Amino acid sequence: MRKKHDWLRETYQKSLEKMPERPVAHRTLSDIAPDPLYTPEDIGVLDPEYEEKRGYPGEYPYTRGVYGSMYRSKLWTMRMFAGFGTAEQTNERFKKLLKAGQTGLSVAFDLPTLMGYDSDHPLSKGEVGKCGVAVSSLADMEILFEGINLEEVTTSMTINSPANAIWAMYLAVAKKRGHDWKKLGGTIQNDILKEFIAQKEFIFPPEPSVKLVIDTFEWGPKNVPKWNFISVSGYHIREAGSTAVQELAWTLADGFEYVEAALKRGLDVDEFAPRISFFFDVHNDFFEEIAKFRAARRIWAKEMRHRYGAKNPQSWMLRTHAQTAGVSLTAQQPLNNIARVAIQALAAVLGGTNSLHTDAYDEALALPTEESATIALRTQQIIAYESGVTHTIDPLAGSYYVEWLTDEMERQAMAIIEEIRRMGGVVRAIEEGYFLRELAEASYRYQQEVERKERIIVGVNAFTDEIPLKVPIQLVDPEVERVQAERLARVRRERDPKRVEEALAGLRRAAVEGQNTMPHFVECALAYCTLGEMMDVLREVYGTYQEPAYV
Amino acid sequence: MDRRIRVLIAKPGLDGHDRGAKVVARALRDAGMEVIYTGLRQTPEMIVSAAIQEDVDAIGLSILSGAHMHYFREVKRLLEEQGASDILLFGGGIIPDEDVPRLKELGVAAVFGPGTSTQDIVDFLKRAVPERWRAQGLA
């Protein structure tokens, strides 16, 4: 077996050359100085499967973390999901979060934007600015990032069906401000498969939807090389009621489906795979969540290397964002959610996440207030700076339970992935209603367990209060709809109609002819075409998707 | 009383989070009711017309998006407009306590927040629907 000493001299040192250790005391409160890593050598045991199954951080199969020095050098990115009301209001919240020490931005869009409708569309009524910020054109995007240097922050955007259009708007803002696209970092969620499985914000049928995603795989590495053009997301699958094993399996199966679609288009796996990122949920079952992250990295590395023939180690690395489980939060005794979020966030960190959002305690009631959002961010900072869990990498490795559970989750997830492959892949499984059935079963089973009190939820089915505790909640200004409608009217009045028409015609042509749509989305964004106009063009070409109403 | 309670469970608006709606639909069915689930992204017009066509006793709306005041008001208005205000309207989702009295004023019979036991919803319907039948002289 390779010696720890060799890893320290090679991988760890190399990692430090890129990113030195953080200038904080990597010592316990008793002044003991832990090594960056512990292995079977340190306690004098034999682990014949060590290298194959666990290996070293920053090395295949990445079970112990994707980077050589992990949090000793660089903490995870603290990236709080935020967005409500108008672009002005959200811009103000962004600036406050950055001032509070957040290190990346993450944009929540409202439902009309997620569904590709302008704020003044009849179907948008009542929904504008409600669960996120309304972005209907470049004019909104410009305000959203006013006063924020796009080369200094990385921005994640939770957008799926209209991902190409929204990304194009962000890039258009950067272009107009003279930024170099090659310096821009960030992520668009852009994971349409999980929309059909769980979250249901789809517009077009699965096939053209996947085609749009693969357009970004093809165009992204050449034009915006540091951008993650997909965040394959288990979060919504879990929130819709799956188990942790199903979340793990389905998310990775989605990832493999995109890889296969990209290979089918003739793309080079080592060109696009390094820019694929992931997103997982972190629920209450502490060790199961830690094991999930470790198993996810191992499965991805193995499959990318051996099944898909990737040669670049960057293609084997599963980098992930994580979010504490919104669905686990209770409306009863809401302050208890601070404790839940802390436990979940700690699991994500011990699981080796690269980026984290912590939910605010009031999210079972409404959107977070400024205070509740700050407490959620502070929770991450307490884990990062006070708990000492960052002294050594993957500190739970070698725990009999954690290693066994990691293996078990890998085994069960691979069985599900193989089952989906036998069905003919994720798109086929969607068409056959497989995910809808499985989700309905799993979520109903969980609900019954709670109602029978086989699972205790503090404050809900045990330890309840007679008098409910009131917490202040965030209300969205009903003026938003009017402000948005006026801005849209102004945009439509002031833009160059000829340029708009030509840009939309170019997009239509690309869609009809099966060409890459991304250059046309950028042109549309620069011409101030609205989101609704762009999506309408594609609705005409591709049609829309109706899900069968299955209970 | 062997008449079965008929309930329409609906997801109005653009939101796709249907876990709660589906869990409730299934629990009501397991409790012996006839349940019609509309599927996603229903307009108030579609919901009311389905309720009348299916001759349901109650409509349950599931809303998490914050647009609850708009949708409950519209559904109630359309029910009245079409002479179907005897259909019991209830709902659930992420709805702030502050809004519950306003919804009740609109005529929403019950609002079930997160953490509600499905048994509470079953009990509510088994009590409220037969009361309506008696009031209408149907039972």
Q: pLDDT tens digit string along A357-377?
A: 999 999 988 888 989 999 999
> What are A347's two structure tokens?
């699991």
Best mutation target among B19, B29, B94 (most A Cβ atoms within 10 Å) is B19
Q: Give the mean pLDDT of A12-26.
A: 96
Distance to chain A for B13, nearest Cα, Å: 7
- The DSSP line for A476-505 is --TTHHHHHHHHHHHHHHHS-HHHHHHHHH
Percent of chain A surpassing pLDDT 90 = 91
pLDDT of residue B4: 94
DSSP A469: P
Distance to chain B for A239, nearest Cα, Å: 8
Q: Give the mean pLDDT of A187-191.
A: 97
Q: Give the mean pLDDT of A130-155.
A: 95
Those of residues 158-197 in A touching chain B at CB distance below 8 A are 195
Determine the residue type at B2: D
Cis amide prior to A519 (ω within 30 degrees):
no
> Which residues, 6 or more positions from A519, have their beta carbon under 8 angstroms from its beta carbon?
A219, A510
Percent of chain A surpassing pLDDT 70 = 100
Q: pLDDT tens digit string along A256-269?
A: 999 999 999 999 99
Q: Give the mean pLDDT of A318-340.
A: 96
> Which residues, 6 or more positions from A100, have their beta carbon under 8 angstroms from its beta carbon?
A374, A377
CA dist A134 and A141 (Å) reads 9
The CA-CA-CA angle for residues A442, A281, A95, to 5°, reads 145
- Side by side, the strands of the sheet bearing B110-112 are B34-37, B6-10, B58-63, B88-93, B110-112
Question: Between chains, do B69 and A125 touch, taking CB under 8 Å as contact?
Answer: no
What 3-state DSSP class applies to B61? strand
Q: Give the mean pLDDT of A78-104.
A: 90
Q: pLDDT tens digit string along A197-249?
A: 999 999 999 999 999 999 999 999 999 999 999 999 999 999 999 999 999 99
Question: Between chains, do A548 and B39 touch, taking CB under 8 Å as contact?
Answer: yes
Instruction: Assess whether pLDDT exceeds 90 at residue A551.
Output: no
Q: Are A254 and A193 in contact (CB under 8 A)?
A: yes
Q: Are A510 and A517 in contact (CB under 8 A)?
A: yes
pLDDT of residue A28: 97
Instruction: Assess whether pLDDT exceeds 60 at residue B1.
Output: no
State the pLDDT confidence band at A469, using cuts at 50, 70 and 90. Answer: confident
Instruction: Assess whether pLDDT exceeds 70 at residue A67.
Output: yes
State the pLDDT confidence band at B139, using cuts at 50, 70 and 90. Answer: low
pLDDT of residue A476: 73
CA dist A156 and A138 (Å) reads 17
Nearest to B66 among A130, A327, A549 (CB): A130
Instruction: Assess whether pLDDT exceeds 60 at residue A93.
Output: yes
Q: Give the mean pLDDT of A183-194.
A: 97
Q: Give the mean pLDDT of A66-87.
A: 94
- The DSSP line for A338-390 is HHHHHHHHHHHHHTT-SEEE---TTTTTSSPPHHHHHHHHHHHHHHHHTS-TT
- The answer to whether A333 contacts chain B (CB < 8 Å) is no
Q: What radius of gyration do chain A's Cα atoms show?
A: 23
Q: Give the mean pLDDT of A139-155.
A: 95
- The DSSP line for A74-101 is -PPEEEEEE--BSHHHHHHHHHHHHHTT
Q: Which residues of B touch A (CB under 8 A)?
A: 9, 13-19, 22-23, 25-27, 29, 35, 37-40, 43, 64-67, 69-71, 94, 96-98, 113-115, 117-119
pLDDT of residue B136: 81
The CA-CA-CA angle for residues A100, B66, A362, to 5°, reads 40
pLDDT of residue A467: 81
Q: Give the mean pLDDT of A476-503.
A: 94
Computed over every residue of chain A, the mean pLDDT equals 95
Those of residues 136-155 in A touching chain B at CB distance below 8 A are none
Question: Between chains, do B117 and A451 touch, taking CB under 8 Å as contact?
Answer: yes
State the pLDDT confidence band at B123, using cuts at 50, 70 and 90. Answer: very high
pLDDT of residue B96: 87
> What are B87's two structure tokens?
């259909």
Distance to chain B for A550, nearest Cα, Å: 7
- The answer to whether A199 contacts chain B (CB < 8 Å) is yes
Question: Between chains, do A365 and B94 touch, taking CB under 8 Å as contact?
Answer: yes
Distance to chain A for B16, nearest Cα, Å: 5
Task: Quickly count: other Cβ atoms within 10 Å of residue A33's Cβ.
Answer: 9
Q: How far are the Cα atoms of A164, A480, A514, A548 from residue A538, in angstroms, in the given order?
A: 12, 27, 12, 22
pLDDT of residue A525: 98
Q: Are B107 and B116 in contact (CB under 8 A)?
A: no
pLDDT of residue A493: 97
Distance to chain B for A9, nearest Cα, Å: 50
Nearest CA in chain B to A203: B14
Q: Give the mean pLDDT of A440-448.
A: 95
pLDDT of residue B132: 87
Residue found by looking up tokens 């409790």 in the block: B31
CA dist B66 and A393 (Å) reads 42
Q: Are strands A276-282 and A320-324 parallel, antiparallel or unpaired?
A: parallel
